[in-house]
Each structure stands twice: as structure tokens, then as C-alpha cells.
């Protein structure tokens, strides 16, 4: 290959064109991925809220158990 500035510029332009084609060809796949990701994010947020709501009673129970454990000095075994 002749490495003159004109030929290197021409090669650069050729490579730039090839790269743009690959980027353009890939864009629909990226758009599809982004759309699915956004849809999943909404669903994940909904599930997270459901989990937090379901855990709230557990938190209240655990806090009461902790208070009882402190009051009993850690001796929480039920009598036999």
C-alpha cells in the first residue's frame, strides 16, 4: 500500500463509511434492547413496591421481637 496522505485519507474515509454501516445496522437491535430494558424497569419497580409492602408487617414483628428480647435479657426460649 502506498502511504501517501491522499491514499491514507481515502482509506480513512472508506473505513469511516464501513463503520457507519455497522453502527446503522446495529441500531435497531440497540433500540429493541433499550425498549425491553425500559419495560422491565417498570415491572421491576412494581415488584419492588410489592415486596416492600409485603415486608412491612415483618418489620413490625421483628421490632417487637427485638424489644422483647432486650427485655428478657436475650433469654427468649419458650418454657418447656
In the chain, count H helices and then E strands: 1, 0
Number of domains in the chain: 1
Residue 44 domain flag: yes
CA-based angle 21:25:31, to the nearest 5?
Answer: 135
Give CA–CA dist 49/44, Å, rounded.
9
Domain extent at residue 46? 37-65
CA distances from 67 to 19, 52, 56, 74, 79 (A): 65, 22, 17, 10, 19
**pTM given for the model:** 0.52
- The model's pLDDT over 55-68, given as tens digits with 9 standing for 90+, comes to 999 999 999 999 99
Residue 3 domain flag: no
Residue 59 domain flag: yes
- The model's pLDDT over 15-49, given as tens digits with 9 standing for 90+, comes to 999 999 999 999 999 999 999 999 999 999 999 99
Amino acid at each position: 500500500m502506498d502511504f501517501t496522505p491522499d491514499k491514507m485519507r481515502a482509506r480513512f474515509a472508506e473505513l469511516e463509511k464501513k463503520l457507519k454501516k455497522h453502527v446503522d445496522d446495529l441500531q435497531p437491535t440497540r433500540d429493541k434492547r433499550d425498549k425491553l430494558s425500559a419495560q422491565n424497569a417498570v415491572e421491576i419497580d412494581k415488584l419492588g413496591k410489592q415486596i416492600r409492602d409485603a415486608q412491612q408487617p415483618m418489620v413490625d414483628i421483628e421490632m417487637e421481637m427485638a424489644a422483647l428480647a432486650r427485655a428478657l435479657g436475650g433469654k427468649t426460649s419458650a418454657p418447656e
